[in-house]
Amino acid sequence: MLYALLCYNSEETVFAWSKAEDEAVMARLGAVQDKLSAQGKLGPALRLMPTTTATTLRKSDPPMVVDGPYAETKEQLLGFYILDLANLDEALDVARELGLANPGGAYEVRPLLLYAPGVLSPEQLLAAAG
């Protein structure tokens, strides 16, 4: 079974860390990740840019683009995509197209700060996903 671990914390606190604090946390996380890698268990891990960089497409009719992260509590996080796109406009085009296929809720577009591919090959990921 593949699991996603979703990371939550106060971004005001995290982005106020000094370089030394940030590096210390990353080093501690790295130690855990190394162990998981050695066990052949770690898939992609990523860090998002702050919510100030987020733009949300509400899948209303017509869809509405709003600055900022998705902030409602009525809906829950159900999945996500990673895409390589030219810019925000293209990302919103993709979100609109996906929204037509699956109306309701919203897509939040957030650039990635960091992407670590992990040790699982595409075949292993596919097999584990069943």
Tell me the DSSP string of 26-88: HHHHHHHHHHHHHTT----EEEEPPGGG-EEEE-SSS-EEEES----SSS----------SSH
Using the rule CB under 8 A, give the single segment among 10-18, 32-40, 75-83, 94-102 that binds another protein: 10-18
Provide the minimum distance between the beta carbon of 113 and another protein in the complex, in angstroms, as a whole number.
6
Using the rule CB under 8 A, give the single segment among 16-24, 33-41, 96-104, 120-128 that binds another protein: 16-24
- 120/80 Cα distance (integer angstroms): 19
- DSSP 8-state assignment for residue 16: T
Q: Which is nearer to another protein, 39 or 87 (CB)?
A: 87
Determine, following the binding rule CB under 8 A, whether residue 12 of this chain makes contact with another protein. yes
Partners of 58 in beta bridges: 64, 106
Determine, following the binding rule CB under 8 A, whether residue 65 of this chain makes contact with another protein. yes
Chain center to CA of 57: 16
Coil/strand/helix, residue 113: strand
Question: Can you tell me which of 30, 34, 52, 117 binds another protein, judged by CB under 8 A?
Answer: 52
Q: Which is nearer to another protein, 24 or 38 (CB)?
A: 24
Using the rule CB under 8 A, give the single segment among 37-45, 48-56, 76-84, 121-129 that binds another protein: 48-56
